Amino acid sequence: MSSILDCKVIPLYKIHNRAGNITIVEGKKNVPFEVKRIYYLYDIPGGEGRGGHAHRELRQLIVAASGSFNVILDDGKDKKTFYLNRPDYGLLVVPCIWRELVDFSSGAICLVLASDIYKEEDYFRNYDFFLKYIDNEV
């Protein structure tokens, strides 16, 4: 079963010069999956949270492209909070991990690189069902 110990913040490749920075992510090179989809969350009202789900198969890299936020990961046994505030680091989230994204700073942009296209059937949206699934009860 998945563990939050398999989720980690990884440094991304960064080229710096006086005109600014560029960060590059290449599938199967800097992230351990082929990137099939990119989406980003923005204009998040103060106090709002996102996430509140887990995925059966999907792997993701979550990046604070601008601003900051907290990602709370939960494998059903343990929870860990990751504070993301740098565009040159990404949080790798493996399958079967419940996540909540909270405490977005004003103007934050949450960039997500995902291993697959959008499939609603890949989501766990009910926390109790998620816990039963990982305990092999359903």
In the complex, the residues that contact ligand TYD under the rule CB under 6 A are 37, 39, 41, 50-51, 53, 118
Shortest distance in whole angstroms from residue 37 CB to ligand TYD: 6
Gap between the Cα atoms of 10 and 25, Å rounded: 11
Shortest distance in whole angstroms from residue 1 CB to ligand TYD: 22
55 catalytic residue (yes or no): no
Catalytic-labelled residue, pool 50, 53, 86, 132: 53
> What does residue 118 show for φ and ψ, rounded to 5 degrees?
-70, 125
Shortest distance in whole angstroms from residue 110 CB to ligand TYD: 8
Which of residues 16 and 79 has its CB atom nearest to ligand TYD in the complex? 79
Where would I find the H helices in the chain?
127-134
- Count the Cβ atoms, other than its own, within 10 Å of residue 46: 8
Of 118, 117, 115, the residue nearest 34 (C-alpha): 115
Enzyme catalytic residues: 53
